Amino acid sequence: MNRNKTILAIVGFLLAGTGFLALVLSLVSVQLSFLTWIDIPGRLFGFIVRLMMIIIGMAMIYLNLTDFSKEEI
């Protein structure tokens, strides 16, 4: 169980990091080659997808690294 949480946390870090890097690079009109499909529908759609990558990645990190069994109700 702990190994799965670690893997999902790493995926969250990669997703958030890639989203943040793609967002910063898009501000100077540069794209990562494997994310060029994001801007095909429009720049606003691409911006929203990049933000969602960051938010979902951060949520994955938080949910996988928090021990809810020790939380008080």
- What is the H or E stretch that residue 36 is in? none
Helices (H) and strands (E) in the chain, counts: 2, 0
Q: Which two tokens stand for residue 71?
A: 């939380």
Residue 28, in any domain of the structure:
yes
By three-state DSSP, how is residue 27 classified? Answer: helix
Residue 54 pLDDT: 96
Residue 73, in any domain of the structure:
no
Structural domain containing residue 16: 2-67
More confident residue, 66 or 59: 59
DSSP for 37-54 reads: GGGSS-HHHHHHHHHHHH
More confident residue, 70 or 42: 42
Residue 72, in any domain of the structure:
no
Q: How many domains does the chain have?
A: 1
- Specify the residue for token string 């994001």: 38
Residue 1 pLDDT: 64
Work out the mean pLDDT of the chain and round it to a whole number: 90
